[in-house]
Structure 1
Amino acid sequence: MAIDEVPDARVPDTAESGNPDTPSTDTSGSDTPSSAVASPSAAPSSARAGGWAALRPLLLRMHFYAGLLIAPLLFLAAATGFLYALSFQAEKILYAHELTVDRVGGTALPLGKQVEAAQHAAPAGGKVVGVWPAPEADATTRVILQSPTVGEDENLTVFVDPYTAEVRGQLTTSGDALPLRAWLSEFHASLQLGEFGRIYSELAASWLWIVALGGLALWIGRRRARKAQLVLPERKGRASGRRRTLSWHGSVGLWSAAGLVVLSATGLTWSTYAGENIGRLQDRVGGATPSVSATLGGGAGHGAGGDEHAGHTMPDGTQMPGMPATADVGVDKAVEAARAAGVTDHVQVTLPAKGKGYVIKERDRQVPVHLDSVAVDPADGRVMDELRFADYPVLAKLTRFGIDVHMGLMFGLVNQLALALLAVAVMFLVVWGYRMWWLRRPTKDRLLSFGRPQPRGAWRKLPVTVLLPLAAVVAVVGWFVPLLGISLLAFVAVDVVLGAVAVRRGRGATAEAR
């Protein structure tokens, strides 16, 4: 049976809880008895209502279909995101030998000696492309190589004890992510299915903010006896069955809405289709992420080119060609020059390629962030260009902050726990939503029956002054976020087909009755 074949009669809560004193509720939680809905004095369906009374049925129907059809993707994105959020702490345990030293020494060896040790330990054919000096006293130095033994978008990272030059291990990495987090990151983004798999995560991100904001509006606009019912779920009294589920669904959704909107917006920034549009818009309004100029013999200046949408692990310049065979002051003097220029916190060094100098960046993204960078001439150790994070365009800063929050980097463990809680909240919201749909079955003795949908024709009740601007906004958003627009058109097409089938069957039943 199609979902629109279910009779559009309200189902009283007495059928759900067995309590004859419990009034019926619709999907918004309104306590209006079903008898009042069927009253002859009710306004005719052709009358156009204004304001919230006209908009609410349309939101109900949209929230119903989006929740019913997109919810599996949201659940999957939340489950994989939950695993990703936990991977930061898991990395510290799983790769403790590579990440830390056995004993903290007095003075670290020169970076050049650490790089030499890594080169001797690495497989033949690898090229050193970057060095990440130990950020903490008990941490190892990461020497990053391009190697034929790893994938095209991966690096081989050798972990070196900065006090003894002992090689603690080698791992395949993607940006700053070690194997576990890199795998879970890609699993969250594409289910390990490549570019095709990224469609799932973009669809989820495209609809998440609509489901969250639509549900928030419905929950706030619901009639309730006590204000506390807005923010706290009902646990006692007559609340049972679908009403209690709705209470938990609405309350948890209210507390989660802001975080879900942020996750949706930031997730779209590196999506395949919407991300491209966002990047273009950001460039046009002067919000592109700048990068330090490292070209030898060229004038200093900041070029746009920070690739904020390259992938979930955000490589940040680790994909680089090998070192040229020219005069070089060495990595130690380059880092010394950068530190003298104020680039001091958790630095990462990109070794010079042909026609380029050293690029030395701060990579400490926790608040307060340290993301300054400089370019150093390898011939004489002179600072050729400087770029301060304070000089980033406002939009570039917001993009950086949003992505780092989404990735669990900005606030460390607190950020990661918040992401995990949001993921759990989404999974519960999906389960509660399906449970409410199940409890809306027109009869409980038909196990395979479906909960009724919201009535059609809600858009016809909107005033023209609301309908036309709303249609224009939907068209613009659907173009800007393509998978949202395409899936919305698909929903409408399916709804029209189901409606036509229901009407034809209704006419057939009427003809047989005559």
Structure 2
Amino acid sequence: MNNAALQRIFWRLHFWAGLLCAPIVLFASLTGLLYVLSPQIEAWRYAALDHVAPAAQPLALDAQVQAALASQPGSTLRQVIPPHAADDSTQVVLNPPRQPHEHHAMADGPDHHGLPDGVLVYVNPATGQVLGSLPELARFRTWAKKLHASALLGDGWRWLMELGASWMLVLMATGTVMWWPRSQARGGPGWRALRPRWDRGRATWRDLHAVVALALGGVLAVVLVTGLTWSRHSGARFSALQQQLGQDSPRPPKALQSAPGNGPMLSWQAAWDRARALAPDVRLQISPPAGDTGTWRVENQDRSQPTARFNLVLDARSGAPLFQSGWDQLPLLSRATAVGIPFHRGEFGLWNQVLLVLTALAAVFSVVSGLAMWWLRRPRGQLAAPTLQRRQLRQAPLWLWPLMAALAWALPVFGWSLLAMLGIEALRLCWPAGAQGHRPDPPAGLH
């Protein structure tokens, strides 16, 4: 293998990926920072809605639901989140009144282009008093989540964050390979490469760029991979792989129905009592039956306890469980996802938040330091991209091409952008001047 050729390929790939994806990475890091801090922001902003004085004997859940519906005439019921702690309010999620032409769109879900448009109504469980209401998207955590995932532009723009996350993984891999120092026994700096050299201009920026990325690279890799598992395109690949490996999460069939009959539907209170008897001790969210043969669907609303994760479907009239799954039924990959996603969201407490804040700041610093290194190196008035010649591509190790193809399959948005980049490079190399060019200083990561 020609190591110099591989370094040159990685350097050019690293340069273009970093330069083109810098705005996306900055946006994703800063909006992710907002989302991670949302528990503290929400505790300050919504205390009067989320918490009440504990009651010895709360009202039946049905009365609370009716109070919420009465406060929003014309709305329809989507979901109820009953109180778990003694001082929790009841949250009732309503769909706003729809125009006739909107009813068909509702069949695909309650969101408008991927942005929630429901109304959250908060009810005091002791008195049935409506404490207030908020549009779903006005809730800070929901707003920050949608900002981070799609820049508030809807599901059609989720590919943008997927593009940034995919290339960030490539940036980390190529940067690590380029930086990796020779051992002291072979005349290299060895572990001393981890000690930044101060007051050396671009060399200082280069050292800090590498050391900060390495210090929090493992956490950043987990954040990127878990984010990609529920992205639109890469997430579909991940789900397909889970199914092929028999590692898919057990989910209730969409066509699951209650037995038809003339008996009365379970009340909200009865459905809640039945769910609490079958579910772990965790805050629940309950969706009502849709139609005569619909079912009660219950799952954990609190995602910070992976081992309390569960899915439950109850017959609308008898309350008999038609489907039930929990942590014990999850295969290995699904358990990893059940832990990884709450970690990505900072839901495991203060230590998790601190770690993610440092990781977001490290990603921001990586972009800033990378741009500083480029700016200090570039001759005035030139882009100063690392050169790449045909002979270096011919000397590339054979394993590189199937590896890139596998990544392109697993990360489709990365694959499309890589294909575009390779097409531009091919045109450049086919141009008469493409095979020429001077050889600038060694790749930025080499010592």
Q: Distance in 2 between matches of 1:240 and 1:406?
A: 36
Q: Distance in 2 between matches of 1:283 and 1:87?
A: 34
Contact between 1:245 and 1:432, CA under 8 Å: does it hold in 2?
yes
Shift of 1:228: 4.8
Contact between 1:439 and 1:451, CA under 8 Å: does it hold in 2?
no
Equivalence for 1:251: 211
Q: Distance in 1 between matches of 2:434 and 2:269?
A: 80
Residues 231/163 of structure 1: CA separation in 2 closer, same or farther (3 Å cut): farther
What is the RMSD of the two structures over their aligned residues, measured on CA atoms? Answer: 2.9
Aligned length in residues: 416
Q: Distance in 1 between matches of 2:78 and 2:45?
A: 26
Shift of 1:187: 1.9
Equivalence for 1:184: 144
Residues 504/247 of structure 1: CA separation in 2 closer, same or farther (3 Å cut): closer
Contact between 1:363 and 1:370, CA under 8 Å: does it hold in 2?
no
More off after superposition, 214-223 vs 71-80: 214-223
Q: Distance in 1 between matches of 2:157 and 2:271?
A: 42
Residues 386/242 of structure 1: CA separation in 2 closer, same or farther (3 Å cut): same
Spell out the pairing of 1:315-464 with structure 2 (5 A cutoff): 327-354=264-291, 355-367=293-305, 369-409=307-347, 411-442=348-379, 446=380, 448-456=381-389, 457-462=391-396
Q: Distance in 2 between matches of 1:357 and 1:118?
A: 22
| TM-score computed with the length of structure 2 as normaliser | 0.83
Equivalence for 1:70: 21
Equivalence for 1:143: 92
Q: Distance in 1 between matches of 2:270 and 2:36?
A: 38
Shift of 1:328: 2.1
Matched residue of 1:291: which SS? coil
Contact between 2:80 and 2:286, CA under 8 Å: does it hold in 1?
yes
Q: Distance in 2 between matches of 1:248 and 1:195?
A: 36
Matched residue of 2:132: which SS? strand
Residues 222/325 of structure 1: CA separation in 2 closer, same or farther (3 Å cut): farther
1:483 aligns with 2:413: yes
Question: For 1:115-142, what per-residue CA distance to the aligned partner results, in whole angstroms no more than 9, with x for missing partners?
Answer: 1221222x21122232211122222111
Equivalence for 1:3: none
Equivalence for 1:99: 50
Shift of 1:297: 3.0
Structure 2 gap segments, 5+ residues each: 99-109, 438-447
Equivalence for 1:81: 32
Contact between 1:337 and 1:383, CA under 8 Å: does it hold in 2?
no
Contact between 2:306 and 2:327, CA under 8 Å: does it hold in 1?
no
Q: Distance in 2 between matches of 1:441 and 1:88?
A: 43
Counterpart of 1:204 (choices 149, 164, 179) is 164
Contact between 2:181 and 2:193, CA under 8 Å: does it hold in 1?
no
Q: Distance in 2 between matches of 1:342 and 1:363?
A: 12
Contact between 2:242 and 2:248, CA under 8 Å: does it hold in 1?
yes
User: Could you tell me which amino acid in structure 1 is paired with residue 46 of structure 2?
Assistant: Y
Question: For 1:206-259, what per-residue CA distance to the aligned partner results, in whole angstroms no more than 9, with x for missing partners?
Answer: 211111122122222356765554444334xxx510111011100011012212
Shift of 1:425: 1.0
Question: For 1:361-394, what per-residue CA distance to the aligned partner results, in whole angstroms no more than 9, with x for missing partners?
Answer: 2233224531123333332333343222211122
Equivalence for 1:22: none
Shift of 1:436: 0.8
Residues 273/360 of structure 1: CA separation in 2 closer, same or farther (3 Å cut): closer
Which structure has the larger Rg over C-alpha atoms? Answer: 1
Q: Distance in 1 between matches of 2:232 and 2:282?
A: 33
Residues 246/125 of structure 1: CA separation in 2 closer, same or farther (3 Å cut): same
Residues 129/66 of structure 1: CA separation in 2 closer, same or farther (3 Å cut): closer
Contact between 1:157 and 1:172, CA under 8 Å: does it hold in 2?
yes
Counterpart of 1:127 (choices 55, 66, 76) is 76
Question: For 1:282-337, what per-residue CA distance to the aligned partner results, in whole angstroms no more than 9, with x for missing partners?
Answer: 22322222224652139xxxxxxxxxxxxxxxxxxxxxxxxx99612312222222
Structure 1 gap segments, 5+ residues each: 1-48, 299-323, 508-514
Contact between 1:80 and 1:184, CA under 8 Å: does it hold in 2?
yes
1:116 aligns with 2:54: no
User: Could you tell me which amino acid in structure 2 is paired with residue 217 of structure 1?
Assistant: V
Counterpart of 1:166 (choices 129, 133, 138) is 129
More helix, by proportion: 2
Question: For 1:12-37, what per-residue CA distance to the aligned partner results, in whole angstroms no more than 9, with x for missing partners?
Answer: xxxxxxxxxxxxxxxxxxxxxxxxxx
Matched residue of 1:427: which SS? helix
Residues 185/365 of structure 1: CA separation in 2 closer, same or farther (3 Å cut): closer
Residues 504/187 of structure 1: CA separation in 2 closer, same or farther (3 Å cut): closer
Residues 477/368 of structure 1: CA separation in 2 closer, same or farther (3 Å cut): closer
Q: Distance in 2 between matches of 1:353 and 1:505?
A: 66
